[in-house]
Structure 1
Amino acid sequence: MYPSSFEYHAPTDVQEAVDLLVEHGDRDVELIAGGHSLLPTMKSGLSKPEVVVDIADIDQLHGVDHGEESSRVGAMTTYATVAADETLARSTVISEAAAEIGDVQVRNVGTVGGNVAHADPAADLPAAVLVSDATVRLQGPSGDRSVPAAEFFQAMFTTDIREDELLTGIDLSHLGENDAGAYVKKPSPSSGYALVGVAVVLETDGETIMDARIGANGAFDHAMRLKPVEETLTGEALDGGIAHRAAGHATDDVEPYLLMEDDTASSDFRAHLLEVYTERAIDTAIERVGSMTDTEAD
């Protein structure tokens, strides 16, 4: 199918894009980045924007800037770029999550900002962003605004982005020398999206888990932290047994209606997957702390 007719704009800087959002604020406006989410809905008729603002040519939204303690990923940076970035691979979990998205063609075109802003419950990046102590950068007519990732994802396809704002980038905190992270998922056999995906960051002193951040996508209507699992891990020694014990708390304090259910997987099956993949993610992170510590000791 062909989409309905629309007015098209291709700004070349962030301020121009924001001005367009303000100018057409009384109309149905959509931003387009990689287009993997918007174009299919336009072709199917589910989305009929009157105005489309294409942000692909805004240079300041592309690329990754590394600092000593954090990295900023521009909104238009592709999954492939993030997956291949050696600094991000060593110091965050987002590169591992990006490498799990779709196929080569999707990763070469899809963008980090588009993924995070769209907030698909089964997308891979939101859980990784949540556990990375990340800050989402937004720009609107009043200037820049920063939102902690924990406050950004609110519900299915719903975030803290205002109608006149543009997501410009994401700041990701780096792991310490004794810390480790991991992202694992059970992909849908039909789409590759996450039936359940779990991201883990463990802050350790080399022997004990000092702090834990565990995030899940696919299981709920939006990416969420698994607080009972985090609390169980904190203060425990680094060993495989703790992963199993902690993962058993993955559905604690979760009302049954909060678990996703569709033709692909029931809520009960997702609850089972959540425990299994939480344990796998924790075990993987623990193994990485061990290898890092062994290397330093040598």
Structure 2
Amino acid sequence: MKPAPFIRHVPKTLDEAVKILAEVAPEDGRILAGGQSLVPIMAFRLAKPAHLVDINEVEGLDKISSDGKTLTIRARVRHGAFHKPVVDNPLGALLAYVARHIAHYPIRMRGTYCGSCSHADPSSEWCLTATTLDGTMVAKSVRGERLIPASEFFDSIMTTALKEDELLAEVRLPLLAPDAKFGFYEFSRRAGDFAMSSSLVTYRLDGGFMTDVHVGVGGAEPHPRRIPEAEAELTGKAPSDTVFRAAAEAAANAVDAMEDHQTTAEYRRDLVRAVVRRALEHSQA
């Protein structure tokens, strides 16, 4: 199938983009950056926006920057930008490792970090990183700028806190401590498929004991989130197989697992148990 007819707008500045979006939002106007999520659902006519605001010619939206405390990822930064570390910090290595698991190479060269977060697929690797690392989502509109904690940004399956006339202009991720450790693991039926469950963990060691622990799970519930029950099982303890298994069990018990025509809630909880434990094991590699 082909998409339904639409009008394409090509703003040159961010202010122009949000002004146009404000005008066309009532007609289901959408932002177009990479298009790797939007265009396929338009082709199936699951979405029929009357207007597309194409931000690919807006200067500066392809930039990544760091002020020494925060990494800022702007709206047109492609997944492929993270194939190599973008900052000399454990966060750079983390993002590079996670990026390898996103879909396939051609998609990574076009899709965007902010676009993935705006689409809010429960299995999105970037939604998981933003949530686990306590990122800040920066929404822009004609009314100004709004800062939304990642923990409050993702509402449900493909639903966010963005207003219809707001553009996700950037995502800000806090840099990790220089001695931070991280682990990531996801399970999908085939390489490049959407993850059925995934986990990202970060922590530091203080005297051999884990501190500043973050455990995030994606794909199992309508949106990714940190799992405080699993974090509590790790905090103040030395890394070990027994401790990792206890944290994984806590995560599995904590999630309200989704079901579909192929997957039961029980099976997804088993996946959560596996991906959390393996993410923790990978953090020791």
Distance 1:23 1:283 in 2: 50
Counterpart secondary structure, 1:185: strand
| Equivalences for residues 1-298 of structure 1 within 5 A | 1-87=1-87, 90-92=90-92, 93-189=94-190, 192-205=193-206, 207-254=208-255, 258-285=256-283, 287=284
Counterpart secondary structure, 1:133: coil
Taking structure 2 as the reference length, the TM-score comes to 0.94
Q: Alpha-carbon deviation of 1:194?
A: 0.5
Distance 1:268 1:188 in 2: 17
Taking only aligned residues, the RMSD between alpha carbons, in angstroms, comes to 1.7
Distance 1:15 1:139 in 2: 9
Q: Alpha-carbon deviation of 1:128?
A: 1.2
Q: Alpha-carbon deviation of 1:253?
A: 3.7
Q: Alpha-carbon deviation of 1:107?
A: 0.7
Q: Alpha-carbon deviation of 1:89?
A: 6.8
Q: Give the fraction of aligned pairs with identical amino acids, expressed as a percent.
A: 28
Distance 2:102 2:189 in 1: 12
Structure 2 residues not aligned, in runs of 5+: none
CA-to-aligned-CA distance 1:83-123 (integer Å, 9 cap, x gap): 32342773253332222101111111110010001000121
Distance 1:96 1:116 in 2: 18
Contact 1:179 1:203 in 2 (8 A): yes
Which residue of structure 2 lines up, in the alignment, with residue 292 of structure 1? none
Q: How many residues align?
A: 284
Contact 2:90 2:177 in 1 (8 A): no
Q: Alpha-carbon deviation of 1:20?
A: 0.6
Q: Alpha-carbon deviation of 1:208?
A: 1.1
Counterpart code for 1:169: E
Distance change >3 Å, CA 170–CA 13, structure 1 → 2: same
Counterpart code for 1:72: T
Contact 1:188 1:264 in 2 (8 A): no
CA-to-aligned-CA distance 1:153-209 (integer Å, 9 cap, x gap): 111111111111111111111111221112210023286111111111113325111
Distance 2:25 2:77 in 1: 26
Distance 1:266 1:95 in 2: 32
Counterpart secondary structure, 1:249: helix
Distance change >3 Å, CA 65–CA 190, structure 1 → 2: closer
